[in-house]
Amino acid sequence: MLALNHSDLTLRVGSIAVLCIYSAVVLLLAGILLLRFIRLAKERRRRNVTEIWRPLLAQCVVEVPETLPALKSRDHLVFLYLWNHCYESVRGDARTLLNELARRTKTDQFAKELLRSGRLRRQLLAIVTLGHLQERSVWNELEGTLQADNAFLSLVAAKALLNIDAQAAIPLLIPVISRRKDWSPLKVVAMFEAVGADLAAETIAKAACLAAPEIGARLIRHLAATQSQYGLPPLRALLRENSPSDDVLAACLFLFGECSDPRDMATVRAHMSHPTWYVRLQAASALGKMGVEEDEALLIGLLDDEHWWVRYRAAEALSNLPWMTADKMTRLCGALSTIEAHEHMLPFMAQSNVRKADSLPTAPPERDTL
Amino acid sequence: MTSTKGSPGLTILMVENKEDTACLLEFVLQKNGYRVIHSNNGSQAKSLISAMDPPDAVLLDMTLPDTTGLDLLDYLRTQTRWQTTPVALLTTNVESLDSVRAAGLGVNDYILKPVSPTRLAMRVNRLLADSKRKQPRVA
């Protein structure tokens, strides 16, 4: 037994310590049990809400029933996850019906409360929901969220603004895109998918023109993913009217090569002798994609460039030219005057010979991103 | 919703791992008169394919937790009775598909996600109508 009243002080202190440890263990166990109980109760509630609302949401993509079960406020969060998932799984009229369901269950009101809750996960859910609902009343709050320190939160807000009113959102977004270093250009391109590739390309190009070189160059490179030519006019104007940095220039040349618009041929040719090696490199790569027969000489000239990568890309570009056959490459290789030029052509000539031997359709050699 | 009633009683095997999406597709198909057998992973679907008679059509999600839609389709086509069963692939991005392999395995249609309920019903009706038209020639 514990000797709490024992005359020996050491024994008394020891007994008190043992009692404290026992109490702490019991409290800890009780805490663990309580947390487990809360978690199970939450899980049970989530399951119940899912069982009721999942089939109802499926039904709502076809028609919204006249009577709906009551939705308790503590269940609304689970409902929001289900509703958003369902919304993103359908398109067309089904989304209008889901919006009707959301308004009838006062989901718009609930989402507005979540937006002001100050908890990140809830704010994200609220912003996504309000974007889907095209809720104009939160426009100013979403616009303010564009400046949030959290990049993900601000990107989600940008997407919601685009969902609510793309035409009004774009002028707001252009300066933000050009300023935010933490926004992934890939995410920016994906964000604009919903509003259409052409509008996306034009907006991103305009943002790139305003941006600092390191942001602008990244945005321009990713413009190729939109597969739209609408991004080209602002960039042509930028090259014509300003003197952009070498990074931006190289990115523009990369994009010109990807888009292969003959109107950009003169610009590409003009940069074949640029003092910066990576500008020459991008000009060579672009010419390999869009060049005509008279450009062959320009590319052959770059085989003697002082920089290894430029020589390599020039050789690759030559091998990519649509009229370049294995025999023609062999003849070209034989006529080269320097060892460097010859060495760079050899692997591409070998590839070309293998393709010829296998009678495979001519596919360009794999490119890396430089 | 446009009337897109399918032939009542026709059976569709749907392999889709996301419960929410499966529930939604199942509802739309049932609403259009089809009987739906749902499997939510590759191994369960393989067991079903080995055990059951071929359904009238198969809807196959491209991304499953334990296999890919194309691998499952490959397995399905090795079963003698399933070689002419019409199959539609459910995918979010048709450009990322190995279209040559898919064509070789006899994919009859692609259904892009997110789905429009009306278009889903129309596509499934057409898939079944096309396969019915082809049947006499096969025989």
- Mutation target vs B (from A64, A91, A95; most B CBs, 10 A cutoff): A91
**A48 pLDDT higher than 50:** yes
Structure-token pair, residue A125 = 């859910």
Contacts of B117 in chain A (CB under 8 A): 61-62, 90, 92-94
pLDDT tier for residue A126 given thresholds of 50, 70 and 90: very high
Helical ranges in A90-119 per DSSP H: 93-104, 107-115
Contacts of B18 in chain A (CB under 8 A): 89
Kindly report the nearest CA distance between residue B99 and chain A, in angstroms: 17
pLDDT tier for residue A39 given thresholds of 50, 70 and 90: very high
- Assess if residue A49 is contained within a domain: no
Among chain B residues, CA nearest to A64? B1
B31 touches chain A (CB under 8 A): yes
CATH number at residue A358: 1.25.10.10
- Residue whose entry in the numeric block shows the structure tokens 């019991």: A26
* Per-residue pLDDT reduced to its tens digit, A222-244: 888 888 889 999 999 999 988 89
**A366 pLDDT higher than 50:** no
Where is pLDDT greater, at A248 or A351? A248
Q: Which residues of chain B have pLDDT under 50?
A: 1-4, 136-139
Kindly report the nearest CA distance between residue A17 and chain B, in angstroms: 53
Residue range B11-138 forms a domain whose CATH class is alpha beta
A51 touches chain B (CB under 8 A): no
Which among B23, B28, B115 is the nearest to A54, CB-wise? B23
- Lowest-confidence range among A121-130, A292-301, B130-139? B130-139
- Assess if residue A369 is contained within a domain: yes
The predicted model gives A19-46 an average pLDDT of 95
- Assess if residue A335 is contained within a domain: yes
Where is pLDDT greater, at A340 or A62? A62
pTM of the model: 0.73
* Per-residue pLDDT reduced to its tens digit, A238-287: 999 888 999 999 999 999 999 999 999 999 999 999 999 999 999 999 99
- Lowest-confidence range among A132-141, A204-213, A244-253? A204-213
Last residue of a domain, one of A243, A273, A305: A243
The predicted structure's pLDDT at residue A249: 94
The predicted structure's pLDDT at residue A358: 65
User: Is there a single domain that holds both residue A267 and residue A352?
Assistant: yes
Query: What is d(CA A199, CA A230) in angstroms, rounded to the nearest whole number?
Result: 7
Kindly report the nearest CA distance between residue B136 and chain A, in angstroms: 35
B53 touches chain A (CB under 8 A): no
Kindly report the nearest CA distance between residue B122 and chain A, in angstroms: 14
**A363 pLDDT higher than 70:** no
Q: Could you tell me if residue A273 is left (phi over 0), alpha (psi between -120 and 50 degrees) or otherwise beta?
A: alpha
- Assess if residue A272 is contained within a domain: yes
3-class secondary structure, B91: strand
Give me the residues of B, 79-138, that contact A with CB < 8 A: 113-119
User: Is there a single domain that holds both residue A231 and residue A176?
Assistant: yes
Where is pLDDT greater, at A352 or B86? B86
Q: Containing domain of residue A193, as a range?
A: 165-243
Which residues face B11 on adjacent strands?
B35
User: Is there a single domain that holds both residue A308 and residue A364?
Assistant: yes
Last residue of a domain, one of A209, A243, A277: A243
Contacts of A55 in chain B (CB under 8 A): 23, 27
- Assess if residue A337 is contained within a domain: yes
Tell me what ipTM this predicted complex has.
Answer: 0.77
Which among A58, A91, A93 is the nearest to B24, CB-wise? A58
Where is pLDDT greater, at A2 or A336? A336
User: Is there a single domain that holds both residue A340 and residue A235?
Assistant: no
The predicted model gives A192-217 an average pLDDT of 86
- Residue whose entry in the numeric block shows the structure tokens 């057409």: B126
Q: Position A21: which residue type?
A: I
Count of domains for chain A: 2
- Mutation target vs A (from B3, B18, B20; most A CBs, 10 A cutoff): B20
Which among B19, B24, B113 is the nearest to A61, CB-wise? B24
The predicted structure's pLDDT at residue A367: 44
Query: What is d(CA A296, CA A288) in angstroms, rounded to the nearest whole number?
Result: 9
Interface touch B117/A62, C-beta < 8 Å = yes
Kindly report the nearest CA distance between residue A100 and chain B, in angstroms: 15
Interface touch A86/B24, C-beta < 8 Å = yes
CB-based contact B111:B88 (threshold 8 Å): yes
- Assess if residue A77 is contained within a domain: no
Contacts of A54 in chain B (CB under 8 A): 19-20, 23
CB-based contact A276:A242 (threshold 8 Å): no
pLDDT tier for residue A134 given thresholds of 50, 70 and 90: very high
CA A299 distance to own-chain centroid: 34
- Domains of chain B, residue spans: 11-138
3-class secondary structure, B112: strand
A86 touches chain B (CB under 8 A): yes
pLDDT tier for residue A175 given thresholds of 50, 70 and 90: confident
Contacts of B1 in chain A (CB under 8 A): 62-63, 93
Phi/psi at B65 (5° precision): -65, -35
Among chain B residues, CA nearest to A81? B20
DSSP state of A136: G
Of all residues in chain A, the percent with pLDDT exceeding 70 is: 95
Give the distance between the most distant pair of CA atoms in chain A: 109
Which among B20, B26, B27 is the nearest to A85, CB-wise? B20
* Per-residue pLDDT reduced to its tens digit, A313-337: 999 999 888 888 888 888 888 888 7
- Cβ neighbours of A68 (radius 10 Å): 13
**A33 pLDDT higher than 50:** yes
The predicted structure's pLDDT at residue B136: 45
Kindly report the nearest CA distance between residue A141 and chain B, in angstroms: 29
- Assess if residue A292 is contained within a domain: yes
Contacts of A59 in chain B (CB under 8 A): 27
Of all residues in chain A, the percent with pLDDT exceeding 90 is: 56
Query: What is d(CA A120, CA B117) in angstroms, rounded to the nearest whole number?
Result: 33
- Assess if residue A36 is contained within a domain: no
